Structure 1
Amino acid sequence: MFESLKKKFSRTSEKLEEELIEEAEAEDNLQEESGSRFSFFSFGKKKEEPKEDENLLPEAEESAEEVVEETKEEKKSRFWNRSDDEEETSEDEEADEESPEEKKSHFWSRNKDEEETSEDEEVEEEKKSRFWNRSGDEEEAFDDEEAEEEKKSHFWSRNKDNDETTEDVSADGEAKGGIFSFVREKTIQEKHVEDILFELEMELLQGDVAMEVATEVVESVKNDLVGKKIKRSNDITEYTFYALQDAVKKIISIEGKSMTEMIEEKKSQGEPLVVMFVGINGTGKTTTIGKLANYYLKKGYTPVIAASDTFRAGAIEQVTHHADNVGVKIIKHQKGSDPAAVAFDAVEHARAQGKELVLIDTAGRMQTNTNLMDEMKKIKRVSKPDLVIFVGDAITGNDATEQARKFNEAIDIDGVILTKADADSKGGASLSIGYVIQKPIMFLGVGQGYDDIMEYDSEWMLNQLFSEDDEGLVEDEA
């Protein structure tokens, strides 16, 4: 998940470290010292402390002592049994002594085997001889080649080799090779980061990150890094890691209430929370409604679904299928009926039955279709939703961000749900969409099952972007 962004961030750190070390080497301001070199993703990683078992009872300790005693007795028993077995074996051997003729036969057989082995050894020696002769030829050929122009110091090359050797990297992201320090403390200057951050900006744009988001990230990192004083190469990696992390944190941390909090607020007023879903066809909007109905049903609430996509008979059947699968009531009219009327009836049903949540499905439409957008505005006027949520496909990247922008301009959306986030390797939409429209991401779809949805958490998102694994992809929503 978000592998593309992770690689871009780590490469930025590596390039800055290379830039500074090359400059220091040219200034004769570089030395190698003992220590562990940290990888980009090792910073911010929490080390788990071993837990002591505080629940060990006295009875358990006594039982453990008994087991030890039993083990000693078993060992003693096995010792005497083994002694008896050896005595019996010795008697059997004496009884089965070979005759002189048999011994002579064995002798000649063994001698023949030794001759064959000797022949094999001679063949092996010949192979070794040919191998060393070939190696010598290769060395002579190599000596005749022109030496490549050195771009890096001996120290930097060796350190890079250590980085590429995965066997030398520990579980905590530490490399066993030496680290570099500077004889005279260096300061990161604008000239050191200018080209590197320009490359980062271009790579972010290629990864479907919105222009304003890429620019904001680069400017924030630049402001954090320029002026930092460094003594060791690990300092460069650490400062770059936290500069990037802080920049991304500002982007993805858009304040907003959770849907669960809003349900509780409306419930205290004796009213249902009304949520209207909008978006284009094919983004998983109807499936997301089924997932949310299941999600809140398991939390103890009673949802009702409004089938307000009356333009297609297939849409009514689809949302009915999801409602039946998760076990919630659906309010629907015939194909071609007024979608606003369906939404209104669903809200009235929820009030009459004391249900806490109304989920309104709407027809998928392109953000450029004026007539359909006007129809959606009518649904909003009639049903008076507490939340209007845009459902976008994470893997469409910039398209999802642009769609959200247009829908927000047309009907003022309140939040976003991104589907297929688990299949999003680039991460552009997840990083950009909330910042561009200044509305929070509320949920992420992380699979095809009804349970594969999770409430969005900016800290979780940050961890996904700045960790080497995808642990905790789906949280327990029960």
Structure 2
Amino acid sequence: MAFEGLSSRLQETFNKLRGKGKVSESDVNEAMREVRLALLEADVNFKVVKDFVNKVKEKAIGKEVLKSLTPGQQVIKVVNDELTQLMGGTQSKIALSSKPPTVVMMVGLQGAGKTTTTGKLAKYLQKQNRHPLLVAGDIYRPAAIKQLQVLGEQIKAPVFTMGDKTSPVDIARGAIEYAKAQHLDYVLIDTAGRLHIDEALMDELKQIKEVTKPDEILLVVDAMTGQDAVNVAESFNNQLEITGVILTKLDGDTRGGAALSVKAVTGTPIKFAGMGEKLDALEPFYPDRMASRILGMGDVLTLIEKAQANIDAEKAKELERKIRKAEFTFEDFLNQMEQVKKMGPLDELLGMMPGMNKVKGLKDMQVDEKQLARIEGIIRSMTKEEKQKPEIINSSRRRRIAKGSGTSIQDVNRLLKQFEDMRKMMKQFGQMAQKGKKKKKGFKFPFLP
């Protein structure tokens, strides 16, 4: 997960400050030394680190901070605010032209994930009730056109191509005319990349820019390349005046230095972050939410948005009723697993919950996706009646289920025991909730907000 090392280092540093009734200037200086080292280890640009530490130190040693009732928390607030500003301050939304179509040039080096990201962006726009056109402007990379066509089929978006014999400039020009005729409101031009920045690449991109007059020039960079990602962003910005950056593979970079450096070095906002391989794994980049996650404060808003987008409200109501009535079955359990999986990797979801990093055993926990697959296999090997009434599963049925799921009888026994324990606990919660309703208004169900 992004910022893993930085997050643990910063949280460790600030835990020392939180426990102090008074914080002196030397305490702040010592904390800032740790912050500086943590940022450098996270591959953040040296100049960015220097400026950041100086800004934080200047604000943190002010009288209103050191003489406040909670000086440790005030220092952490200063760091949180400065981290947010470092990454752009506020979310920067994708442009929307007053005169459709909105033209977006996708640029970047080969291997950064530009074509896939173009498909992901189209999928994101569709969720906003937009109608994007994918444009196959990369005529040099073998199978680039076919790759975009496959992505278009997957998300049911039109793909404009004129083959690999027409110039990218003419393709871009033709695509805009096509979009106007078909009343499509976004044109996403997938341009060619190179393994390195050269004059021929930039000349072609400048020509496309001149002809299409794009509303956005989005640079796609691989977050895992660290400082190289920042250098690439700076070079492209100098030549093309990019309007935004999309960081791919941010979920795979445990350091996250590119995300913290690119805005400060180029002055260009990060607009989206690629958080996985699936086509819906492109998220708007929120500097404040990312800063909160780095400092271990969670990211409840993103978690809620993921839940709202992926969890069926009617099914959730029915589940609540079943829990209250102690009617929760293996079918319900399987259904919940499927809905949660749509939200993303479980360890990522846990990281969005405030304070989870402090829960013993969870900080370094790796969610075993294979174990979840085994559980799913066991449940799917049950008959409908067995899912509804697990108490009927005798020894012969257990052997059959184990054989059908490719697991052991011990695995089946363990799951049945855990499920029974869970049902007992849910029954207790349901009874507590019922009692609560009879009490004075304002009683809240345990553990719920």
User: For the structure 1 residues 477 and 208, does the alpha-carbon distance in structure 2 shift closer, same or farther, using more than 3 Å as the test?
Assistant: farther
Q: Could you report, residue by residue, the CA deviation over 1:212-251 in whole angstroms, capped at 9, with x for unpaired residues?
A: 221122012211222447589x945313311211221221
RCO greater where, 1 or 2, for CA within 8 Å and sep 6 or more?
1
1:6 and 2:7 matched: yes
CA distance in 2, matches of 1:274, 1:237: 48
CA distance in 2, matches of 1:384, 1:188: 55
1:188 and 2:24 matched: yes
Counterpart position of 2:37: 202
Whether the 8 Å CA contact 1:367–1:406 is kept in 2: the answer is no
1:242 and 2:77 matched: yes
- After TM superposition, give the deviation of residue 469 of structure 1 in Å: 4.8
Counterpart position of 1:467: 296
Corresponding residue to 1:406 among 235, 238, 241: 235
Whether the 8 Å CA contact 2:125–2:131 is kept in 1: the answer is yes
User: For the structure 1 residues 201 and 336, does the alpha-carbon distance in structure 2 shift closer, same or farther, using more than 3 Å as the test?
Assistant: farther
- After TM superposition, give the deviation of residue 255 of structure 1 in Å: 5.8
Whether the 8 Å CA contact 1:187–1:227 is kept in 2: the answer is no
CA distance in 2, matches of 1:219, 1:368: 34
Counterpart position of 2:170: 341
CA distance in 2, matches of 1:296, 1:195: 46
Counterpart position of 1:159: none
Whether the 8 Å CA contact 1:220–1:243 is kept in 2: the answer is no
Q: Could you report, residue by residue, the CA deviation over 1:312-343 in whole angstroms, capped at 9, with x for unpaired residues?
A: 23111111111111111111122243111111
Counterpart position of 2:366: none
AA partner of residue 275 (structure 1):
V
- After TM superposition, give the deviation of residue 3 of structure 1 in Å: 1.8
Counterpart position of 1:379: 208
Whether the 8 Å CA contact 1:279–1:285 is kept in 2: the answer is yes
- After TM superposition, give the deviation of residue 442 of structure 1 in Å: 1.1
- After TM superposition, give the deviation of residue 14 of structure 1 in Å: 4.9
Whether the 8 Å CA contact 1:210–1:428 is kept in 2: the answer is yes
SS of 1:290's equivalent?
helix
User: For the structure 1 residues 454 and 375, does the alpha-carbon distance in structure 2 shift closer, same or farther, using more than 3 Å as the test?
Assistant: same
Whether the 8 Å CA contact 2:132–2:185 is kept in 1: the answer is yes
Corresponding residue to 2:221 among 392, 396, 404: 392
Counterpart position of 2:86: 251
For residues 79-98 of structure 1, the aligned pairs below 5 Å read none
SS of 1:249's equivalent?
helix
CA distance in 2, matches of 1:283, 1:209: 19
Q: Could you report, residue by residue, the CA deviation over 1:359-413 in whole angstroms, capped at 9, with x for unpaired residues?
A: 0001112453122111111111122211100011122221111110100001110
Count of aligned pairs between the two proteins: 305
- After TM superposition, give the deviation of residue 207 of structure 1 in Å: 0.8
Whether the 8 Å CA contact 1:254–1:434 is kept in 2: the answer is no
Q: Could you report, residue by residue, the CA deviation over 1:152-193 in whole angstroms, capped at 9, with x for unpaired residues?
A: xxxxxxxxxxxxxxxxxxxxxxxxxxx665xxxx6623x444
For residues 10-25 of structure 1, the aligned pairs below 5 Å read 10-14=11-15, 17=17
Counterpart position of 2:446: none
SS of 1:417's equivalent?
strand
Counterpart position of 1:43: none
AA partner of residue 393 (structure 1):
D
For residues 451-462 of structure 1, the aligned pairs below 5 Å read 451-462=280-291
Corresponding residue to 1:431 among 253, 260, 280: 260
Query: Structure 1: 5+ residue runs without aligned partners?
Result: 18-39, 41-178
SS of 1:443's equivalent?
strand
User: For the structure 1 residues 459 and 193, does the alpha-carbon distance in structure 2 shift closer, same or farther, using more than 3 Å as the test?
Assistant: closer
| Segment drifting more, 281-290 vs 454-463 | 454-463
Corresponding residue to 1:220 among 42, 47, 55: 55
CA distance in 2, matches of 1:353, 1:215: 51
C-alpha RMSD over aligned residues: 2.5
For residues 92-131 of structure 1, the aligned pairs below 5 Å read none
User: For the structure 1 residues 249 and 243, does the alpha-carbon distance in structure 2 shift closer, same or farther, using more than 3 Å as the test?
Assistant: same
Whether the 8 Å CA contact 1:306–1:332 is kept in 2: the answer is yes
User: For the structure 1 residues 273 and 340, does the alpha-carbon distance in structure 2 shift closer, same or farther, using more than 3 Å as the test?
Assistant: same
CA distance in 1, matches of 2:256, 2:88: 15
Whether the 8 Å CA contact 2:14–2:31 is kept in 1: the answer is no
TM normalised by structure 1 equals 0.59
CA distance in 1, matches of 2:57, 2:92: 32
Whether the 8 Å CA contact 2:91–2:286 is kept in 1: the answer is no
- After TM superposition, give the deviation of residue 418 of structure 1 in Å: 1.0
Q: Could you report, residue by residue, the CA deviation over 1:196-219 in whole angstroms, capped at 9, with x for unpaired residues?
A: 423432331221111222112201
Q: Which runs of 4+ in 1 moved over 3 A?
A: 191-196, 227-232, 254-257, 468-478
CA distance in 1, matches of 2:20, 2:203: 64
1:327 and 2:162 matched: no
Counterpart position of 2:247: 418
User: For the structure 1 residues 382 and 255, does the alpha-carbon distance in structure 2 shift closer, same or farther, using more than 3 Å as the test?
Assistant: farther
Whether the 8 Å CA contact 2:23–2:71 is kept in 1: the answer is no
AA partner of residue 302 (structure 1):
H
Larger Rg: 1
| Segment drifting more, 246-255 vs 414-423 | 246-255
SS of 1:390's equivalent?
strand
Structure in which a larger fraction of residues adopt strand: 1
| Identical amino acids, percent of aligned pairs | 35
Query: Structure 2: 5+ residue runs without aligned partners?
Result: 311-449
| Segment drifting more, 437-446 vs 272-281 | 437-446
Whether the 8 Å CA contact 1:188–1:225 is kept in 2: the answer is no
CA distance in 2, matches of 1:12, 1:297: 43
Counterpart position of 1:152: none
User: For the structure 1 residues 254 and 382, does the alpha-carbon distance in structure 2 shift closer, same or farther, using more than 3 Å as the test?
Assistant: farther
Q: Could you report, residue by residue, the CA deviation over 1:3-26 in whole angstroms, capped at 9, with x for unpaired residues?
A: 2221232233356x4xxxxxxxxx
TM normalised by structure 2 equals 0.62
AA partner of residue 50 (structure 2):
T
Whether the 8 Å CA contact 1:395–1:420 is kept in 2: the answer is yes
Whether the 8 Å CA contact 2:223–2:250 is kept in 1: the answer is yes
Corresponding residue to 1:353 among 166, 182, 185: 182
AA partner of residue 247 (structure 1):
E
1:211 and 2:46 matched: yes
